[in-house]
A and B are shown apart, each in its own frame.
Chain A
């Protein structure tokens, strides 16, 4: 593994040089590296560990290859490879191509590093490398990405420093950082220590995957970062957060560490579940409001991370599997969606929903990618997204967690609302006259999108291969494995067969198609030939309903409290304090200096002596 990481890190420098010479070769080299590491993932033996450099005295860094690292590694490489393919055409319009490519390669390398890490400090190092270079990539986007990058950096650092604090608490207590050793010792600790450590570790995952209350960076960051990188952000980096959450609830044995409450769920996990619920609600309601399509999907990420967290935190065989599978599905689906957006923006130069319309006539394949992506994201059969949502619903209902289930239902039905908004506003409806000459994107952008479509449909029909990986992870983490066959998913409250559902859908479609063919042919009329209640229309650009699509619904929660504003207030507060300090202590007159000097003198005399 260390060999692979070394190759990747050195390779990324090579990618930089190659991209400087000829950017297409650079991108190809990047793809080559990613494919090579994808291949290597299957050649490693699960359970092998290696030790690498040492950072603290007596503490070697270790790398461990587990089923978990394999699972997440596969997700992140699928995402990386498809986005890199996309870059073959997309990168042409980006400035600083070499740096862009270089950072992407470094991010992939450090992401794999995180998954391979066998001890907490090594994990932190790779984590921070990934963070640094992703921040640098974010700010290469459009104008407001500069501010977004700061936002992203600050919140991520809050998470990762909390994590590092926990790491040192553990190191101080046990003198070791190897995860395997720590988890064996920690269950007998005092409960305050356990709570502190796990909350601090979870904070990193919460910040990264965009769970309330550290979700605020997602909107601006995903909204304004370079379009292709948004896909990486959603598909690859936020899954690091999911990985961290798995670490918190499952690798650290939450079932053994905390007393269990209602439904056999440890009390610590309930805290996470509540956060997950709030994320689902916030994500859904805010996504419905967005007019920028990337920001819309950014909020949907908040909501879906909530699902992942809830699924994982139940620690139930089906719920945990649902959480992992949802991480997989969300990665693929959000990459499809962001890539299709990137394609749209590539051609239209805008990401505002109400500035577009009718693009389906110009970019049909992009549309199909988006369609399949949202069907999976919203959890509608026969795509794979439904399977994981089903698993999460089942576990919530089975355990009688009705409030959480209600939040999950709201998130699920709400997702129909928000994913439909770009569908209607961007792809359907009247084509804007300024987009009359838009063409479908070039072939290399289409290939990864369509391949992802195939993957989503395939795993929606035959989820067996993914489920096999998930059950392997569950076995490794001492959770009862999910019962399933290639196409049947079983739970204690019933089962269903993905293949049957797909077949029936196909049959239904064929029946409909036969009926359609049997009856007389219709005449194709242009979109401007419309029912207009008898009025004449001259500007069809305006005959398109996309601004404030759900205005009537948004009105119901217009005056919602905003965490984002709260944080802005905090930021302003600190700045004001800084200004105050500056005025009173640093820009003061000499006499003021003397005053402070004597105050310190007196204070020390009185207090200390």
Chain B
């Protein structure tokens, strides 16, 4: 059943090569179908492709974690499909492909399979990044993405050598001494590029600021969230927390570097790209603390971040004349910024609070300090942009499509609601965190009785 979530988009992607323009209209229905499948599914579901039982075949796993992640990813695609204006011409097949691979990435219980999906995702991303005026950025992304992909593959091979299987649950069930470290290093390098970790991910600003509103909107939200899930799954569920300290250090570095680098940007999109880097670093650092509260906080924060970014990125590309005539868009933009900074009443505050309190409970006094520093810097440049856009003098409006306006408005109100009543996001992220931490449960549900 859940394999349909991968198969159907893939099928339509093929079909849309011939029937141009079909994808655009099919996308909402496909996503809705996916969501429908999710709604009737009850976790955990393990589906073995081709009838081979785990650990021998490829299995798709829908446990609590992947359930909510897939749900979020599909909801984002749903929102995206409601604003077809920002999907550039000729890119709709890619979107379908991206949907396929992201769903696969999250659902798969097989390392090699996840490599394949990562590569498809990356390939789709390269194409997305190859915007008219940004070939060089896409090229750089292609190079570094390719390298990281090979490292990921190498990691997969090493685990196969060690465990004799590619199944995540099976690998998790075996311990293989020295080899674990090698695998962990390879995965850090493999995932670090996609997870936007400093100094591996130099591609982000160039690609995000390519000028297309589609690229950052989808890469910075759905894909990032899926990668964050994968990071947690591989390093915590599969590798039992090996090398989390390296991730922790890289994460903190990313937070600081991302925020400081954003300070001087004179292009809004680039500044937002850096903010996205920094938030990803924060999430990775919080994941690396490896306890239930910090993981909950991390995924909660990631969800708040993607909600805010889904508002910020499209508006940032559309709005050039300021908010004087587009007050509603401006309102949404400001709310999203305040949520990113983490003012009380807004969603970001709740997740930051959770991360801080979990860090303190874990005896970690550095992460909060870094987080505070980052928030101050972030506040400075985000507010600068807000003020700048609000006070731009203009007589005409920016021609923001009504559906985009509605969506960002709804999302900004959602941010306010989450700020006051966070349970909606909090429950989902707690489920994700629990299920990622529950290694034994994962193994049992995938491998069954073995």
Q: Chain B contacts of A593 at CB under 8 A? A: 140, 143-144, 202-203
Contacts of A574 in B (CB 8 A): 260, 263, 377
A608 to B139, CA, bound (A): 32
Stretch at the interface among A12-20, A30-38, A545-553, A583-591: A583-591
14 additional A-B pairs beyond A55-B353, A150-B387, beta carbons within 8 Å, are: A56-B357, A128-B343, A128-B349, A135-B383, A153-B383, A576-B264, A578-B260, A578-B264, A590-B143, A593-B140, A593-B202, A597-B144, A604-B243, A608-B243
> Binary interface profile of B, 144-171, with partner A (CB < 8 Å = 1, else 0)?
1001100000000000000000000000
Q: What 0/1 pattern do residues 99 to 139 of B give for CB contact below 8 A with A?
A: 00000000000000000000000000000000000000001
* A169 interface hit (Cβ, 8 Å): yes
CB distance from B137 to the nearest CB of A (A): 9
Dominant secondary structure at the A interface: helix
Note all chain B residues with C-beta closer than 8 A to A169: 360, 365
| Contact A592/B181 with A597-B144, A600-B192 known, Cβ cut-off 8 Å | no
**A577 interface hit (Cβ, 8 Å):** yes
Within 8 A of A (CB), among B160-187: 181, 185
Question: Is B188 engaged at the interface, CB distance under 8 Å to the other chain?
Answer: yes
- Which of B17-25, B70-78, B368-376, B405-413 faces chain A? B368-376
CA distance A605 to B193 in the complex (A): 18
Query: A192: which B residues are within 8 A, CB to CB?
Result: none
23 contacts between A and B (CB under 8 A): A55-B353, A125-B345, A132-B338, A146-B387, A157-B375, A162-B372, A164-B356, A171-B360, A172-B361, A579-B261, A579-B264, A581-B260, A585-B202, A586-B202, A586-B205, A587-B206, A590-B139, A590-B144, A593-B140, A594-B143, A600-B192, A600-B200, A604-B185
Least CB separation from B420: chain A residue: A53
- Complex CA distance for A171 and B293, rounded to whole angstroms: 15
The answer to whether B181 touches A609 (Cβ under 8 A) is yes
Contact present for A594 and B144 (CB under 8 Å): yes
Would A575 and B263 count as touching, CB distance under 8 A? yes
Contact B261 A154 (CB under 8 A): no
Check A124 against B260 for contact (C-beta < 8 Å): no
Of residues 160 to 181 in A, which have CB atoms within 8 Å of B's CB atoms? 161-162, 164-165, 168-169, 171-172
Complex Cα spacing A596 to B356, Å: 30
Of B181, B199, B261, B345, which one neighbours A608 at CB under 8 angstroms?
B181
Q: Is A582 an interface residue when CB atoms closer than 8 A count as contact?
A: yes
Contact B344 A154 (CB under 8 A): no
Q: Interface readout for A106-127 with B: 1 if CB under 8 Å, 0 if not?
A: 0000000000000000001100
Determine whether A466 belongs to the interface, using a CB cutoff of 8 Å to chain B.
no
Residues of chain A contacted by B181 (CB below 8 angstroms): 608-609
Interface size class of A (residues with CB under 8 A): 35 or more
B380 interfacial by beta-carbon distance below 8 Å = yes
Residues of B within 8 A of A590 (CB): 139-140, 143-144
A600 neighbours in B (Cβ, 8 Å) = 189, 192, 199-200, 250
Q: Which residue of B lies closest to A582 (CB)?
A: B261
B343 contacts which of A56, A132, A587 (Cβ < 8 Å)?
A132
Q: How far is the CA of A168 from the CA of B376 in the complex (A)?
A: 18
In the assembled complex, A139 has its CB within 8 A of some CB on chain B: yes
Complexed CA–CA distance, A428 and B229 (Å): 70
| Contacts of A553-609 to chain B: CB distance below 8 A | 574-579, 581-582, 585-590, 592-594, 596-597, 599-601, 604-605, 608-609
**Does B236 sit within 8 A of A, measured CB to CB?**
no
Are A597's CB and B376's CB within 8 A?
A: no
Q: Is the CB of B200 within 8 A of A596?
A: yes
Question: What is the CB-to-nearest-CB distance from B346 to chain A, in angstroms, rounded to a whole number?
Answer: 9
Chain A residues near B147: list those with CB within 8 A: 594, 597
B83 within 8 A of A: no
Does A158 sit within 8 A of B, measured CB to CB?
yes
Q: Whole-angstrom distance between the alpha carbons of A488 and B198 in the complex?
A: 67
A274 to chain B minimum Cβ distance, whole angstroms, is: 25
Residues in B neighbouring A257, C-beta threshold 8 A: none
Chain A residue nearest to B345 (CB atoms) is: A129
Residue of A nearest to B188 (CB): A604
Write the nearest CB–CB distance from B247 to chain A, whole angstroms: 10
Partner of B344, one of A124, A165, A575: A124
Is the CB of B391 closer than 8 A to any CB of chain A? yes
Which 8 residue pairs of A and B lie closest in terms of their CB atoms, listed nearest first?
A: A161-B372, A125-B344, A596-B199, A590-B143, A172-B360, A575-B264, A578-B261, A578-B263
- A-facing mask of B311-354, CB < 8 A → 1, else 0? 00000000000000000000000000010000111000110010
Cβ < 8 Å to B, chain A residues 129-151 = 129, 131-132, 135, 139, 146, 149-150
Can you name the residue of chain B whose Cβ is closest to the Cβ of A589?
B140
Within the assembled complex, what's the spacing in Å between the Cα atoms of A574 and B147? Answer: 32
Central interface residue in A146, A153, A157, A158, by most chain B CB within 10 Å? A157
Question: Are A588 and B372 in contact, with the CB atoms below 8 A?
Answer: no
Whose C-beta in chain B lies nearest to the C-beta of A583?
B261
Interface residues of B (CB under 8 A from A): 139-140, 143-144, 147-148, 181, 185, 188-189, 192-193, 198-200, 202-206, 243, 245-246, 250, 257, 260-265, 274, 338, 343-345, 349-350, 353, 356-357, 360-361, 365, 368-369, 372, 375-377, 379-380, 383-384, 387-388, 391
Query: With A and B bound together, what is the CA distance between A169 and B202 in angstroms?
Result: 36
Measured between beta carbons, the chain B residues less than 8 angstroms from A128 are: 343-344, 349
Given A581-B260, A586-B261, A592-B202: A157 and B379 interface contact (C-beta under 8 Å): yes
**Minimum distance in angstroms from A555 CB to a CB of chain B:** 36
Q: How far is the CA of A575 from the CA of B344 in the complex (A)?
A: 27
Q: How far is the CA of A305 from the CA of B404 in the complex (A)?
A: 49
Q: Give Cα A139–Cα B148 distance, bound, in whole angstroms.
A: 45
- In angstroms, Cα B193 to Cα A547, docked, is 61
- Establish whether residues B189 and A588, one from each chain, have CB atoms under 8 Å apart when the complex forms: no
A599 with B199: in contact, given A125-B344, A132-B343 (CB under 8 Å)? yes
Q: How far is the CA of A220 from the CA of B357 in the complex (A)?
A: 35
Question: Are B357 and A601 closer than 8 Å at their CB atoms?
Answer: no
Q: Is the CB of A154 within 8 A of B380?
A: yes
Q: How far is the CA of A123 from the CA of B375 in the complex (A)?
A: 19
- Asked if A587 contacts B360 (CB within 8 A), the reply is no
Chain A contacts for B344, CB-based, 8 A: 124-125, 128-129
Inter-chain CA distance A609–B260, complex, in Å, is: 30
| CB nearest to A601 among chain B residues | B189
CA distance A589 to B387 in the complex (A): 34
Query: A604 near B246 (CB under 8 angstroms)?
Result: yes
A586 touches B264 (CB 8 A): no
Known interface pairs A132-B343, A600-B192; A582-B205 also in contact (CB < 8 Å): yes
Cα of A594 to Cα of B202 in the assembled complex, Å: 10
Q: Which of chain A's residues has its CB closest to B363's CB?
A: A172
Q: How far is the CA of A154 from the CA of B202 in the complex (A)?
A: 28
Of the candidates A165, A600, A605, the one having the most CB atoms from chain B within 10 angstroms of its own CB is A600
Cα(A579)–Cα(B193), bound, Å: 21
Contact of B372 among A165, A582, A594 (CB under 8 A): A165
Is B185 a contact partner of A153 (Cβ separation < 8 A)?
no
- The residues of A that contact B274 with a CB separation of less than 8 Å are 586
* A525 CB to nearest chain B CB (Å): 50
Across-interface contacts of B343 in A (CB, < 8 A): 128-129, 131-132
In the bound complex, how far is the Cα of B274 from the Cα of A154, in angstroms? Answer: 19
List B contacts of A601 (CB < 8 A): 185, 189
Cα–Cα, bound, A171→B359 (Å):
12
Q: How far is the CA of A587 from the CA of B368 in the complex (A)?
A: 29
Determine whether the beta carbon of A154 is less than 8 Å from that of B376.
yes
Q: Is the CB of B264 within 8 A of A150?
A: no
How long is the Cα–Cα vector from A56 to B203 in the complex, in angstroms?
A: 38
Give Cα distance in the complex from A499 to B148, angstroms: 83
**Residue pair B204, A171 in contact (C-beta under 8 Å):** no
Nearest opposing residue in chain A for B390, CB measure: A139
Bound: A608/B148 CA distance, A: 20
Q: Which residues of A contact B250 (CB under 8 A)?
A: 600
Query: Cα distance A168–B361 when bound, in Å?
Result: 9
A151's nearest neighbour on chain B, judged by CB, is B380
Closest chain-B Cβ to A194's Cβ sits at a distance in Å of 16
Q: How far is the CA of A153 from the CA of B376 in the complex (A)?
A: 8
Minimal beta-carbon separation of A414 from chain B (angstroms):
33
Nearest to A595 among chain B residues (CB) is B199
